[in-house]
Chain A
Amino acid sequence: MSEILVLVDHGDGAVRKPTFELLTLARRLGEPSAVFLGSGSEQAKDSLASYGAEKVYVADDPAFGDFLVAPKAEALAQLVGSVSPAAVLIASSTDGKEIAGRLAIKLESGLITDAVDVNAGSDGAPQTTQSVFAGNHTVTASVTKGIPIITVKANAVTPEQATGAASVETITVSISDAAKTARIVERKERKATGRPELTEASIVVSGGRGTGGDFGPIEAFADSLGAAVGASRAVVDSGWYPHSYQVGQTGKTVSPQLYVAAGISGAIQHRAGMQTSKTIVAVNKDDEAPIFELVDFGVVGDLHKVLPQATDEVAKRKG
């Protein structure tokens, strides 16, 4: 069976959920092998096995943490060169897409980014689905040259467990000086909020200009549903909520089971980031806000009244 490489997205060995989604997709195409770059592979091994990784290639080099993207792309290229996989799957994260871009040039291989689904086509090669133009169109594509390199958006698939051998193969990579030019001189981990990761959450509650900068009702309602918190660009530009929570064309694209838009008018740039959510509800004072064209359910009213009442109602129902 053909080997599919999955680049593991992790923080010091703690594997992030999109990696399990990639392993799930990889099993549709062949036999998944995880590629673990950095330290902490011992900790990651069991979880990778439980999502079907047959092999775990491990390489560690201080350059992976000290320099931006290029060393990882170089290591991955060396591994691909020696094992000739049928495809390489990478998470559509900030680093992931750039690693994929560099890898495509190095390997002279075709690249597809931000796939929302991957399947084996009639010839067995991966066929991808992408959501483009603010989610208004879907595109079916495949790579026609070299080894397909595909980055996949979070939530493309529900991770399914499967037993894999996860036999570890330590590989030696050599990182060139040319890859060590953009030095990471400082790294600040974002403070944990206790809420799910925005791009991975099954429910997202977002606030817009209508919050007036008060995210209390948004956070409280999100917590009652176990949801992640998002924000519109207007909110982020005003400094009311951090940039990393921005949903939209230039922020995160989310595709949760439920998206709650509160005080968000629904400009095209915002729609681009949430339009493919399964169910959408909105609360907005303006009954002509474009967001209402998208919703399954909408309340025309003040979010500062509607959300606290909804939060209480959820608590009541949960008893």
Chain B
Amino acid sequence: MKIVVCVKHVPDAAADRRFDDSDHTVDRTGVDGLLSELDEYAVEQALTIAEAADDAEVTVLSVGPEKAADAIRKALQMGADKGVHVSDDVIHGSDAIATSLVLAKAIEKLDYDIVLCGMASTDGEMGVVPAMLAERLGIAQVTLGSELAVEGSTVRIRRDGDVSTETVEASTPAVVSVTDQTPEARYPSFKGIMAAKKKPVESWTLAELDVAPEQVGLAAAWSSVSATQMRPPRTKGQIVPDEGEGGVKLVEFLAAQKFV
């Protein structure tokens, strides 16, 4: 069983995230980056599947700038076997469409039965890359699993849709994405942290993936941002302590706003 987990290095959601005024891309300077929390669930599922299989290998794949190596390292510390880091200056500003192209080309160079992804990144939050990968790779899309089970060559998820809950099944190879309803990710152990130092991480450039520089980056994006604007902070309204009449006061406010 060969598993490729796609991970993204993202700016910390707790930090003050902003856009670069010159090109409207995410400004990463001065903001700590980390392995996207939602991708940790995918790493955890990959490790769980690998532990149950006889002969399994988990490869962590990330496309991103130099710092993305930190996200790969974290996944290796958790227990993944090896890493692949696709990095190229021209990738900066790529949209989901270009990102999915680079990921798909890299995945095609690797051996895989299952491609595992998180449900979305915590910065772009589009949540479309797994579906795009399945489309590009021409394999089954088994996405947004709140539970994942792998038996032999069958993958099965529980998908909580907007109006119904579905059980979805496919044979490998498949692109699988998992939600934060799957079990919490493990913390790297001391042993894991030490072991990760010896695990191989390959660095690939676009040339090795047969992706032309014109196919990626901000200039190649199929959509363009004309403006970004910070939302004015909400102004703090009236706060009252409950001295026995809190509920009545609340409704008085709602009535004044015509909600009651």
Most A Cβ at <10 Å: residue of B130, B134, B167, B240: B134
Are B163 and A105 within 8 A (Cβ)? no
Question: Which residues, 265 to 305 on A, are CB-close (under 8 Å) to B?
Answer: 268-269, 272, 275-276, 279-281, 283, 287, 292-302, 305
Contact A186:B167 (CB < 8 A) given known A68-B143, A97-B128: yes
Are B259 and A258 within 8 A (Cβ)? yes
Are B238 and A297 within 8 A (Cβ)? yes
Instruction: Answer whether residue A162 sits at the interface, using C-beta atoms and an 8 A cutoff.
Output: no
Instruction: Answer whether residue B153 sits at the interface, using C-beta atoms and an 8 A cutoff.
Output: no
Q: Mark A112-150, 1 if CB is under 8 A from B, else 0.
A: 111000000000000100011111111111111110100
Using Cβ atoms and an 8 Å threshold, which residues of chain A touch B127?
Answer: 97-98, 113
Using Cβ atoms and an 8 Å threshold, which residues of chain B touch A184?
Answer: 166-168
Are A307 and B239 within 8 A (Cβ)? no
Using Cβ atoms and an 8 Å threshold, which residues of chain B touch A183?
Answer: 168-170
Which residue in A182, A189, A296 is a CB contact (below 8 Å) of B163? A189
Instruction: Answer whether residue B1 sits at the interface, using C-beta atoms and an 8 A cutoff.
Output: no
Using Cβ atoms and an 8 Å threshold, which residues of chain B touch A133?
Answer: 17-18, 123
Instruction: Answer whether residue B38 sits at the interface, using C-beta atoms and an 8 A cutoff.
Output: yes
Are A111 and B250 within 8 A (Cβ)? no
Would you give the shortest CB distance from A268 to chain B, in whole angstroms?
A: 6
Are A70 and B126 within 8 A (Cβ)? no
Using Cβ atoms and an 8 Å threshold, which residues of chain A touch B204?
Answer: none
Which residue in A112, A137, A185, A318 is a CB contact (below 8 Å) of B231? A137
Instruction: Answer whether residue B187 sits at the interface, using C-beta atoms and an 8 A cutoff.
Output: no
Instruction: Answer whether residue A244 sits at the interface, using C-beta atoms and an 8 A cutoff.
Output: yes
Most A Cβ at <10 Å: residue of B97, B165, B167, B250: B250
Contact A182:B240 (CB < 8 A) given known A101-B96, A105-B135, A138-B228: no
Binding-face segment, B50-58, B67-75, B78-86, B174-182: B174-182
Contact A225:B259 (CB < 8 A) given known A113-B126, A142-B226, A300-B239: yes
Instruction: Answer whether residue A309 sits at the interface, using C-beta atoms and an 8 A cutoff.
Output: yes
Instruction: Answer whether residue A178 sits at the interface, using C-beta atoms and an 8 A cutoff.
Output: yes
Instruction: Answer whether residue A257 sits at the interface, using C-beta atoms and an 8 A cutoff.
Output: yes
Are A141 and B17 within 8 A (Cβ)? no
Interface residues on B, range: 35 or more
Are B13 and A137 within 8 A (Cβ)? no
Which residue in B14, B136, B164, B242 is a CB contact (below 8 Å) of A299? B242
Which residue in A144, A188, A297, A300 is a CB contact (below 8 Å) of B224? A144
Are B179 and A250 within 8 A (Cβ)? yes
Are A110 and B128 within 8 A (Cβ)? no
Are A283 and B250 within 8 A (Cβ)? yes
- Across the two chains, which residue of chain A brings its CB closest to B220? A145
Task: Provide the bound-state CA to CA distance between A296 and B253, in Å.
Answer: 9
Contact A283:B246 (CB < 8 A) given known A69-B131, A111-B96, A137-B18: yes
Interface residue tally for chain A (C-beta within 8 Å): 97
Using Cβ atoms and an 8 Å threshold, which residues of chain A touch B226?
Answer: 127, 140-142
Instruction: Answer whether residue B212 sits at the interface, using C-beta atoms and an 8 A cutoff.
Output: no
Instruction: Answer whether residue A79 sits at the interface, using C-beta atoms and an 8 A cutoff.
Output: no
Task: Provide the bound-state CA to CA distance between A225 and B146, in Å.
Answer: 32
Would you give the shortest CB distance from A157 to chain B, in whole angstroms?
A: 19
Contact A300:B17 (CB < 8 A) given known A250-B38, A313-B247: no
Using Cβ atoms and an 8 Å threshold, which residues of chain A touch B249?
Answer: 299
Are A293 and B236 within 8 A (Cβ)? yes
Instruction: Answer whether residue B207 sits at the interface, using C-beta atoms and an 8 A cutoff.
Output: no
Would you give the shortest CB distance from B26 to chain A, in whole angstroms?
A: 9
Would you give the shortest CB distance from A212 to chain B, in whole angstroms?
A: 17
Task: Provide the bound-state CA to CA distance between A187 and B123, in Å.
Answer: 31
**30 contacting pairs across A/B (C-beta < 8 A):** A70-B135, A73-B135, A97-B127, A102-B135, A104-B97, A133-B123, A134-B13, A138-B231, A141-B226, A142-B223, A142-B224, A144-B223, A144-B224, A146-B222, A181-B141, A186-B166, A189-B163, A225-B259, A250-B120, A280-B234, A281-B253, A287-B241, A299-B247, A302-B242, A306-B250, A308-B247, A309-B247, A310-B251, A313-B247, A313-B251
Closest CB pairs A-B (n = 6) = A301-B242, A309-B247, A110-B222, A101-B128, A181-B140, A310-B247
Chain A residues at the B interface, C-beta cutoff of 8 Å: 11, 68-70, 73, 93-95, 97-102, 104-106, 108-114, 127, 131-146, 148, 178, 181-190, 199, 203, 225, 233, 236, 243-244, 249-250, 257-258, 268-269, 272, 275-276, 279-281, 283, 287, 292-302, 305-314, 317-318
